[in-house]
Amino acid sequence: EAQVTQNPRYLITVTGKKLTVTCSQNMNHEYMSWYRQDPGLGLRQIYYSMNVEVTDKGDVPEGYKVSRKEKRNFPLILESPSPNQTSLYFCASNSGQGSSTDTQYFGPGTRLTVL
Amino acid sequence: RKEVEQDPGPFNVPEGATVAFNCTYSNSASQSFFWYRQDCRKEPKLLMSVYSSGNEDGRFTAQLNRASQYISLLIRDSKLSDSATYLCVVNKNTGFQKLVFGTGTRLLVSP
């Protein structure tokens, strides 16, 4: 089954404690993204990757890091989480062709609370 | 001004009703357009792409007006299962997807 998986699904942590949210896709997609979703603000892109070892900042990259060492995995790293990073996070992937029929597949989401 | 604007709703409609959602976008160079559906606390899923000529998928019809930078979604014969948030999404890039999401319009269909 084609899917994007994220772990953990729920996480409560404290300010400053480094954490990693993993993301993996089994569709051989080149393009992967991380988004955060906050009430009244919609989904905003944090980082994206167009292929292995190619990453770039999205609209809200501050406080986040990513890596793309393998095509299937795109972890999101919070080196020193702060309460304003409390949010619902989605990983997504698509083939990267950018056509009007290209579907972006989302993972199930990670609900992060930073105390 | 937000790049993609939607009425947040909620739209409360009875089963069987026809309901229309509108969306405007600010970047005239936007390349492609989509409607995504998001159930409460779940991931967004593609409902349909929006083509310049308008397109229909069963009870759902999407329209694009590039001149007015306006996208619409019409749902006919609403079902209880249509209750969700509908996200207007615009791809402002060529070559690869650079999606900009509206904040969504919430639909509640009641018996």
Q: What was the pLDDT predicted at A40?
A: 86
**pLDDT at A52 exceeding the cut of 70:** yes
CA nearest A64: which of A51, A81, A52?
A81
Query: What's residue B96's pLDDT?
Result: 66
Interface check A5 vs B, CB under 8 A: no
Distance CA A50, CA A55 (A): 6
B40 vs A2, residue with greater confidence: B40
> Which single residue is written with the structure tokens 């579907």?
A103
Tens-digit pLDDT string for chain B (111 aa): 789 999 988 999 999 999 999 999 998 888 789 999 999 989 999 999 888 878 999 999 999 999 999 999 999 999 999 999 999 999 887 666 778 999 999 999 999
| Long-range CB contact pairs, B78-83, < 8 A, 24+ | B78/B13, B78/B14, B78/B15, B78/B16, B78/B17, B78/B18, B78/B19, B78/B107, B78/B109, B79/B15, B79/B109, B80/B15, B80/B109, B80/B110, B80/B111, B81/B109, B82/B107, B82/B109, B83/B107, B83/B108, B83/B109
Residue of chain B minimizing CA distance to A38 = B103
Shortest CA distance from B37: residue in chain A: A106
**pLDDT score recorded for residue B103:** 94
Return the pLDDT at A99.
Answer: 61
Interval A55-90: pLDDT, tens: 999 999 999 999 999 999 999 999 999 999 999 999
Distance of residue B42 Cα from the nearest chain A Cα, in angstroms: 6
B6 contacts B103 by C-beta, under 8 angstroms? yes
The phi and psi torsions of B108 (rounded to 5 degrees) equal: -120, 115
> Do residues B16 and B77 make contact, with C-beta atoms less than 8 angstroms apart?
yes
What per-residue confidence (pLDDT) applies to A3?
Answer: 93
pLDDT above 90 for A34: yes
What is the distance in angstroms between the Cα of B49 and the nearest Cα belonging to chain A?
Answer: 7
